[in-house]
Structure 1
Amino acid sequence: MGSGKILFALLTLFSQFMAAFSNSQQNENPSVDFHGGEKRTGSSLLSEGVQLRIEKDYVVLDNGILQVTLSNPGGHVTGIQYNGLENLLEADNGESDRGYWDVVWSGEGVTRKKGRLDRLEGTNLTVVVETEEKVEISFTRMWNSSLQAKVVPLNFDKRYVMLRGSSGFYTYAIYEHLKGWPAFDLDNTRIVFKLAKQKFRYMAIADNRQRYMPLPEDRSPERGKTLAYPEAVLLVNPIEPEFKGEVDDKYLYSCESQDTGVHGWISADPRVGFWQITPSNEFRTGGPLKQFLTSHVGPTTLTVMHSTHYAGANITMKIGPDEPWKKVYGPAFAYLNSLSDGGDPLSLWDDAKKQMVNEVHMWPYDFIASEDFPPAKQRGSVGGRLLVLDRYVSNATISAEGSYVGMAAPGEVGSWQLESKGYQFWTKTDEGGNFTINGIRPGDYNLYAWVPGFIGEYRFISVIRINPGCDIDIGDLVYEPPRNGSTLWEIGFPDRSAAEFYIPDANPEYINKLYLIHGRYRQYGLWERYAELYPSEDLVFTVGKSDYSKDWFFAQVTRKKDNATYEGTTWQIKFLLDEVNERAEYKLRLALATANVAELEVRVNEPNANPVFSTGQIGKDNTIARHGIHGLYRLFNADIPVAQLRIGNNTLFLTQTARISPFQGVMYDYIRLEGPPQPHKTRKEI
């Protein structure tokens, strides 16, 4: 075992200790020299201006700290030279398979099931800005009818920016579809960097999600066994024995949009970090909780701008034949840092987080040359205070502390979850419910919000127009969540996640060591554990006796009968009623954290009767297979016929009828049965 591997193994087990030790050692040992961003030492390097060299087949950006080589005119990143490494990217890959933008799309003539991959090969190079302080270059491809069905029907403009003294470079792209061009669907677009696999072995995507990683060869048929889907591979005979018996799957490392500010890789020799920093999510799809891929075995690091993961086909961007559309994706920042001998490699992660904060403070950037990217002075802001009024909780309004408030395209309540063509801007309220959203691009928006602890969500009914430089105080907003009557019983906590429910231990044959404690729901194969826990009888939950953290399985999935067939499942909720008002209305609130090709039916006291409510077939989130604890949020409000309720013992039957695959089912966020409305209470259905 090499010294770098030993070091990273120790860091994985004792990261917090080593980080603290590193800080103390650096304070005592001035020989540890940190290189990265504005912390780069050496005035000769900082004084060098940015140089641009254009050759027949290549373009080189060089500021004395790093050199970035791009194909000409394709605009793919073929090499990154930094801190003694001739190329941080995987040189064994083809030049168009190292650093690139791509899209997955479909349209007329495209028959590939998951769409067609277009790596956005440029056809023209333009120098936008060339000074000693900054160089910005553009690679474009203009669509015309001769390209029908060969490439995505878009004009695109890929840009790269390098600044003096910066230990990194920026990239962004402008997509444009003109009226009269062919219709198409856009499933995915992203930036990809594939790093040198023998150097970058330690991956970090969060403080508690980082580890020494297997090699890509370990996933080959000779060394790995493909499991229920191609992305999941059991490492049977890995090059390094310590990985034997682990499951590798890129979906294990997905993150919510709000948590994808920085992620990347560390090389032990030399000590170099490569990080993808995304200072804003304004161009991303689906709001702050939408999950995206980040880094995974390769070593591969991604900035995903739009994808259908954890949402399904409903979030696919559909551009019509007569629809003009333009959108700016990015900029994102590829950041590099390094240490002299003797430094703790994990300090590179700490520095990358600090650099992310710096980039967030600089957003929106003032050095971007495109007219399609407005700087701060051309944007606006909205502020106010969000309150909650639920008269069955309090007769007075209460502050909506910790709520999510966002500006997105005008639409219905919750439409922002599926919105993909425009921009979104989100923040969280303080303890008083106050919020300010800065840096909003000009345009028309609705204001949306949801409050942890309360079901449903708020939408400000009027469209808000943002003009350059505007500062709008919207005042107090009052959210009245759906409420029929007092709570008779409830299961879970309304926060759009199933994380509070019972997460079983992973099958010992399918372990990923990173999630033995934190993020247990990310282990592979947990859907199979349900049939092991309930081999013949389904889950029964007794209100007042059962504990949802122990007795409510996190996902209502199918039960495997044999190697090829599955059956639907019926869960029971048993509860007591001291009285039943025969002239009143009872309401069941079903808040789902995700659904995948599922149908949920509700029955009361008669398991074989016609359902009193059915969702119909819902969802293509595929969250169960992809180790997520939530996908799209759905709220259903079901009337419970009073004639079917009894004084004393009652049973609610929840049947998930779909039964074709192991990945069909739902995750609950929260369930509540409400009694009749009380005369002195007000009722407002949202």
Structure 2
Amino acid sequence: MTRRTFGKLAGITATALLPWAQTTRAVAAGPPEVVETDTQVVVDNGLVRLTVDKSNGRTTSLVYDGVNMVGRGNYDMNTVREGGGLPLPPADNHLTVRVEQDFVDIAYHHSPSGDMPCWLVRHHVVRSGEAGIHLAYSYEHPAELHGFRTDQHRYVFYTAGGVFTHASVPDDADAVAWRAAAARMPTGAEISSAEMVMDATYDLEGTGSAYPRRYYTKYDWAVSMKDHSLHGLYGSGYGMWAALPNLEAFTGGPVRQDLILHQTGSTPVLLVEPQATHYGAPPVRVAAGQAWQKTYGPYFVYLNKGDDPRALRRDAARQARFETHAEFYDRLAIEGWTPTAERSRVRGTVRVPGVPVLDGAVVVLSDNDTPMQDSVLGHNYWADVEEGGRFTLDHVRPGTYRLTVYGGGLWGEYVIDDVKVGAGQEVTLGRMLWEPTSHGRTVFQLGTPTRDSGEFRHGREFRRYGLFESFHDDFPDGVTYTVGTSTPQDWNYLQYQRSYPVQAPEGTVLPEDAEGVRLFDFGTASSPVADGYERVAQNTLYAAGGGFGLDRAVDSRDRGSDGDLQRDFVVGSGYTFAVDLPDGVYEVTVLSGDDIAANNTQVSFGGGDPVALVSGRGEYAVHTAEVTVSGGRLDLLAGGDGRINAVEVLAADAALPVLGSLEVDGADLVPGFSTFRSDFAADLPWDQGSVTVRATGRGGAQVTIGGDVVPEAGLAVPLHAQRTVLEVVVTGGDGGAPTTPTTYRLHVTRQESPWRILFDLGRAPAPGAQATLTIALAAWAMGSALPVPPENSNLTVTVNGEPFVWTFGPEDAKGATYRSARGGRNYTREIAFDAALLKPTGNEITLQINDGVEHLWNEAAYDAIRLEIA
């Protein structure tokens, strides 16, 4: 059967399916005990005792064997409205308790809201005779409500009491085994004392941690979903496991990867995360006018005890089988669950001409008319293609699906839409003929299309934050692959736009005996204070004659990253910061931002008009105003989000050899300019040979770089290395300023050079011949776990100098995470061109990330690259 004839559903047969064999189990007499108060519901089956808060449906404790295992259990989601709002039904959030013969179901019902215009029901189920709880939740979006988008929804269990010390997670297939040796997690105290170098990523150097890696990050502990069914925590003689009897509601299919557990600054967390946009997986989008219902789960959080972690895991693995819970889930009958008797088995055979064994091929049923990796609204099922090309998909819900076959080291995919699966049937799809994509004679092929870059250098150890630090040691002259002589080790598993963070060392410039300067570092009462600054904590209150402080206590946050000045801040609305100052004119600078959230803060000086300090996540707004102080006190009123990281006050007549401004043409300073910060960074394109610096000295002070005075138009400074440190020296000034110069440092880095492929043809192409360059990416990812700006990224491919631009939209990289050798979404592009562009010898293909883009940085993992001529 060919692909086209199969699309007409010829050869599909369906017969009644015999009932699935079920696992029998003894049922304890009577249901679990339920105690309900005004504030909580407690369910106790003699093995576990679950407490749920009635006001929000969250778990507040889970006691097993007399020990509390959970401090709190949150269901959280990132959901926003799309399109205009529509009238919502009356709010009716409430909790119900259903008691049956051998189980209790606590269900919390959420009414539609502005950002989540759908009904949501969250279930916590305790069954007699079981040491654990079943979790499920269901969405129902009526067509008459407005649309919404969800980037993530999940259960998060914050464990309690320091019970769990180790993680149990399987290693990635075809990767270096490392997780057993790193199973003991850093402690919460070690995480708290470590430097945060990226979102949830900590440098443990100097903390005394026994963790075998320098960096600890939750992203290293992510898994690919294809063969995943169980992960857990253990320690103190106990285990806590997320057992996933089915992944049918998990979005993104078998190629998706995501987070499952990690240590925090306080306690380990266990995740059940059916949907998220990590690693480039798509969001859930439901439009106005679209009726949609989907149930996620049930899943089982299982508790056991023992001293052998392998035995604990083997015991828990029995709970991750569909058959273990199928009969119970049928009786539980949560809305949206399809009973076992109505599920079908789908069989078929895939053949590829000339390929007797399809080793590594996978067959998938997913959302119809949708790429398999973008499947989010419906359900998906997958299985390995077995000997002889046969495959079997079990427990499939009735519906209409897309069938996809991928892998086996073959180019392209085999795709069929409109595959109809009825209820309770044995569906036979017959024999399918997969003809892999071909465009003529292969000139060269780099890598094998397996949807990962594991065969290249470091590809089998990709889950290790910090690999970018070794890139220039491995490839001091960049990556050049010569066809015929190079090996896969001459090609890195990941191409960086830059293999370094754009950051500058922490430091303060404050000349000795400086008068007329007051510097304030806002934040918590215990976080570090920037050198030369005075602490303003959330409870530093002003009193007449006390010098400075807040008019009332507010909140504070410490994000642990971005340096002493920016890492922390006070936060509130409508509070005032006051500082006693001699009457006069001052330059007052306010720094406002947050490493993990967008910011919209308003400040007003001495009763003046408010000024907006707006910044994105991980960015910091800086505003300087000239303020006249009378009455011996400066008042600064904070409104809006009310985040303040720092305030700098400088008398207008202070004679100091300091900078008044600093700019770099074509790049943003990191961090934003502040007069009293010593070091700044700038990121430039790989081929930029010089940098133009614009700088002014305060009060007429002279600014020089390398002995050359910086003119008003700026000074062009040559760059001779990828990383260059420029010293910006300020001397002199009006009013008898000190003659001792002040030195700032500008750390200028150039991005990585394009990667090169060199090859010969041996002879000129025939007249009229067509060439096709196929590039398969295992991942196209942002260079850090930060939100993606709303602009396009690109991979620019040049063939003997002729450019071909492959453009990616913001959604293509949104939520993606660095260093993935196999992303949650893969991309392939066929670039066709006249073969006359090629020469018998001396051909060159280059690949450059984000040519001409200033505000993005990406990484690309290449699955395979092939050049054909026909």
User: When the two structures are superposed, what TM-score results if normalisation uses the length of structure 2?
Assistant: 0.62
1:155 equivalenced with 2:119 (yes/no): yes
Which residue of 2 is the match for residue 267 of structure 1? 235
Name the aligned partner's letter for residue 475 of structure 1: G
**Following TM superposition, by how much is the alpha carbon of 1:418 offset from its aligned partner in structure 2, in angstroms?**
1.6
Larger Cα-atom Rg:
2
Q: Which moved more, 1:281-290 or 1:448-457?
A: 448-457
Q: 1:655 aligns with which of 844, 848, 863?
A: 848
User: When the two structures are superposed, what TM-score results if normalisation uses the length of structure 1?
Assistant: 0.78
Which residue of 1 is the match for residue 93 of structure 2? 123
Matched residues in 2 for 1:448 and 1:437: separation?
12
Which residue of 2 is the match for residue 317 of structure 1? 284
Matched residues in 2 for 1:288 and 1:500: separation?
20
Which residue of 2 is the match for residue 212 of structure 1? 184
**Following TM superposition, by how much is the alpha carbon of 1:420 offset from its aligned partner in structure 2, in angstroms?**
1.2
Name the aligned partner's letter for residue 58 of structure 1: Q
Q: 1:554 aligns with which of 485, 490, 493?
A: 493
1:573 equivalenced with 2:540 (yes/no): no
**Following TM superposition, by how much is the alpha carbon of 1:59 offset from its aligned partner in structure 2, in angstroms?**
1.4
Q: Does the C-alpha gap of structure 1 residues 357 and 469 become closer, same or farther in structure 2, counting only changes over 3 Å? A: closer
Q: Indicate if the aligned counterparts of 1:252 and 1:627 stay in contact, CA closer than 8 A.
A: no
3-state DSSP of counterpart to 1:546:
coil
**Following TM superposition, by how much is the alpha carbon of 1:129 offset from its aligned partner in structure 2, in angstroms?**
4.0
1:581-618 per-position Cα deviation (integer Å, ceiling 9, x unaligned): 2332222211111113642223233xxx331x321235
Q: Indicate if the aligned counterparts of 1:364 and 1:375 stay in contact, CA closer than 8 A.
A: no
1:296-338 per-position Cα deviation (integer Å, ceiling 9, x unaligned): 00310001011110116xx122222222211101111010111
1:341-373 per-position Cα deviation (integer Å, ceiling 9, x unaligned): xx4344212322233247668489323222420
Matched residues in 1 for 2:160 and 2:235: separation?
9
Q: Indicate if the aligned counterparts of 2:64 and 2:131 stay in contact, CA closer than 8 A.
A: no
3-state DSSP of counterpart to 2:807:
coil
Q: 1:66 aligns with which of 48, 56, 61?
A: 48
Which residue of 1 is the match for residue 109 of structure 2? 140
Which residue of 1 is the match for residue 619 of structure 2? none
Matched residues in 1 for 2:332 and 2:24: separation?
23
Q: 1:604 aligns with which of 799, 803, 824?
A: 799
**Following TM superposition, by how much is the alpha carbon of 1:47 offset from its aligned partner in structure 2, in angstroms?**
5.4
Which residue of 2 is the match for residue 175 of structure 1? 139
Name the aligned partner's letter for residue 497 of structure 1: D
Q: 1:522 aligns with which of 447, 455, 463?
A: 463
Name the aligned partner's letter for residue 190 of structure 2: D
Which residue of 2 is the match for residue 255 of structure 1? 223
Q: 2:77 aligns with which of 96, 103, 108?
A: 103
**Following TM superposition, by how much is the alpha carbon of 1:79 offset from its aligned partner in structure 2, in angstroms?**
1.2
Unaligned segments of structure 2, at least 5 residues: 1-22, 85-90, 172-176, 501-721, 724-746, 783-792
Matched residues in 2 for 1:273 and 1:180: separation?
45
1:86-144 per-position Cα deviation (integer Å, ceiling 9, x unaligned): x1113xxxxxxx1121211112699xxxxxxxxxx99322233422x22223221222x
Q: Which moved more, 1:195-204 or 1:657-666?
A: 657-666
Q: 1:281 aligns with which of 244, 247, 251?
A: 247
**Following TM superposition, by how much is the alpha carbon of 1:55 offset from its aligned partner in structure 2, in angstroms?**
2.4
Matched residues in 2 for 1:670 and 1:627: separation?
15
Matched residues in 2 for 1:473 and 1:481: separation?
23
More strand by share: 2
Q: Does the C-alpha gap of structure 1 residues 257 and 215 become closer, same or farther in structure 2, counting only changes over 3 Å? A: same
Q: Indicate if the aligned counterparts of 1:557 and 1:662 stay in contact, CA closer than 8 A.
A: no
Q: Indicate if the aligned counterparts of 1:556 and 1:665 stay in contact, CA closer than 8 A.
A: yes
Q: Indicate if the aligned counterparts of 2:255 and 2:825 stay in contact, CA closer than 8 A.
A: no
Q: Does the C-alpha gap of structure 1 residues 622 and 564 become closer, same or farther in structure 2, counting only changes over 3 Å? A: farther
**Following TM superposition, by how much is the alpha carbon of 1:407 offset from its aligned partner in structure 2, in angstroms?**
1.2
**Following TM superposition, by how much is the alpha carbon of 1:401 offset from its aligned partner in structure 2, in angstroms?**
4.0
Name the aligned partner's letter for residue 485 of structure 1: G
In angstroms, what is the RMSD of aligned CA positions?
A: 2.8
Give % identity: 28
Matched residues in 2 for 1:668 and 1:183: separation?
36
Q: Does the C-alpha gap of structure 1 residues 80 and 437 become closer, same or farther in structure 2, counting only changes over 3 Å? A: same
Matched residues in 2 for 1:197 and 1:349: separation?
21
Q: Indicate if the aligned counterparts of 1:623 and 1:629 stay in contact, CA closer than 8 A.
A: no
Matched residues in 1 for 2:48 and 2:847: separation?
59
Q: Indicate if the aligned counterparts of 2:779 and 2:861 stay in contact, CA closer than 8 A.
A: yes
Q: 1:187 aligns with which of 128, 143, 151?
A: 151
Q: Does the C-alpha gap of structure 1 residues 373 and 482 become closer, same or farther in structure 2, counting only changes over 3 Å? A: same
More helix by share: 1
1:475 equivalenced with 2:441 (yes/no): no
Matched residues in 2 for 1:667 and 1:234: separation?
25
Which residue of 1 is the match for residue 772 of structure 2? 587
Q: 1:616 aligns with which of 786, 807, 811?
A: 807
Q: Indicate if the aligned counterparts of 1:137 and 1:159 stay in contact, CA closer than 8 A.
A: yes
1:387 equivalenced with 2:351 (yes/no): yes
Q: Which moved more, 1:580-589 or 1:428-437?
A: 580-589
Matched residues in 1 for 2:390 and 2:328: separation?
23
Q: Indicate if the aligned counterparts of 2:449 and 2:863 stay in contact, CA closer than 8 A.
A: yes
Q: 1:543 aligns with which of 473, 477, 483?
A: 483
1:428-453 per-position Cα deviation (integer Å, ceiling 9, x unaligned): 11111111212222222111111321
Which residue of 2 is the match for residue 33 of structure 1? none
Name the aligned partner's letter for residue 582 of structure 1: P
Q: Indicate if the aligned counterparts of 2:156 and 2:270 stay in contact, CA closer than 8 A.
A: yes
Q: Indicate if the aligned counterparts of 1:280 and 1:363 stay in contact, CA closer than 8 A.
A: no
Name the aligned partner's letter for residue 242 of structure 1: A
1:300 equivalenced with 2:304 (yes/no): no
Name the aligned partner's letter for residue 154 of structure 1: C
**What are the equivalent positions in structure 2 for 1:620-659 lying under 5 Å apart?**
620=813, 625=818, 627-658=820-851
Aligned residues: 572
